[in-house]
Amino acid sequence: MRFTTAPFKRALARAAVLAALAHVAGFSPSRACAGEIYIAYVANPVATLPSGVFGPLSYGWVENGPTGAGSPVINDAGLGINAWRVNDSLAQYPNPSYVSALSPSATSAATNSGFRFEASARYVSDYGAGANMGLSVYLNQRAYHLMLDLNATGDLQATLYGRSGATALTTGGTGAAGFHTFALESSGGTSVTALFDGRPIGSAWTGIAMTAVHENIVLWGNSNQSTTARGTMDFKSVSLELGPFTQAPAGDFNGDGNVNANDMLLWQRTLGSTTNLAADANRDGRVNAADLVVWKNAIQAGVAPSQSAIPEPEALMIVSASGPLSLVMRRRRLR
């Protein structure tokens, strides 16, 4: 499917991708919208058997490390969420991860217009000896690693490669084993911000300079490159978005560029959710009354609805058990 047809069709395609990501990953179209979704991974949320969970390779990711280190998980931890588990339980090298190379045009977009590399994931096990699982970006001879492990009190903590110390992400162990959103964001240049559930945990971070020539890539899994710092992590979704970024109207929950009744209906359908956060306008981790206030304020401010109704994105793409979303999303421009 090419996004080179009429603008109306391009809008439908973009809305469909955003709706699918929001449905299974908690992405919110109300935030800044990317110029391109370069590559993504979404575990099939409707699968009832492990064989129905899509593997990362079917989305174009390349497996790095031992074969078989990745496996599907159904109803992860009884949360009703399907995921892809990356298990680094054995002392082996290279550590298991999934990689995508950046094309020259993607490298240029990430460098000049910025990027957002994000995952909805759950840290499962820590085998000791240091930070391990997480997200990594190698760009223009600099490396950015957001790596996770558990501290002595059982709380989830993050280490940013090139900075000393770790940042505790949870308190008293609460939420340490839950699904969270982890992200690396850049508006261009060498400065990157790391985020946990939308909250910055490190800004103006420039990673480390590579001493040897390294390909421009993104990676999820264990990037520590150590046979001792190991762990297990379950990934519900992963996406790499490239700039330029534009801000969608506040209250535009379905990502169609308009604030109208369709957005209010989506809010109603997901009210109370902490997993489908398309209508989480204030990004507090839950769809609630505060988000409806954002929508009402947008309507009252005169954000004009479109005269030509665009079908509800949820109806445009239901993730099927027959094939992954990469058929419509991978390496396709959304403008």
Structure tokens at 34: 């990317």
pLDDT in tens, 144-182: 999 999 999 999 999 999 998 999 999 999 999 999 999
Q: Which residue has the higher pLDDT, 69 or 205?
A: 205
Structure tokens at 193: 């911000």
The model carries a pTM of: 0.76
Residues 198 and 325 in one domain: no
Residues 288 and 158 in one domain: no
DSSP assignments along 261-308, one per residue: HHHHHHHHHHTT-SS--TT-TT-SSS--HHHHHHHHHHHHTT-PPPSS
Structure tokens at 140: 């223009």
Domain count, the chain: 2
Residue 159 inside a domain? The answer is yes
Q: Which of these three, 207, 242, 277, is where a domain ends?
A: 242
Alpha-carbon distance of 293 to 244, in angstroms, equals: 29
Residues 271 and 235 in one domain: no
Taking all residues of the chain, what is their mean pLDDT, rounded to a whole number? 82
The domain of 154 spans: 37-242
Average pLDDT (303-310) is 38
Residues 125 and 252 in one domain: no
| pLDDT above 90: residue 22 | no
Residues 232 and 267 in one domain: no
Closest CA to 252 of 25, 22, 42: 22
Tally DSSP H helices, then E strands, for the chain: 6, 19
Residue 2 inside a domain? The answer is no
Alpha-carbon distance of 179 to 32, in angstroms, equals: 22
pLDDT in tens, 138-149: 999 999 999 999
pLDDT in tens, 185-202: 999 999 999 999 988 998
Q: Which of these three, 220, 242, 264, is where a domain ends?
A: 242
Judged on CB neighbours under 10 Å (0-12, 13-18, 19+), 249 is middle
Percent over 90 (pLDDT), the chain: 61
Residues 164 and 127 in one domain: yes
Span between the terminal Cα atoms of the chain, in Å:
14
Q: Which of these three, 215, 242, 269, is where a domain ends?
A: 242
Whether the CB-CB separation of 209 and 141 falls below 8 Å is answered with yes
Residue 1 inside a domain? The answer is no
pLDDT of residue 324: 53
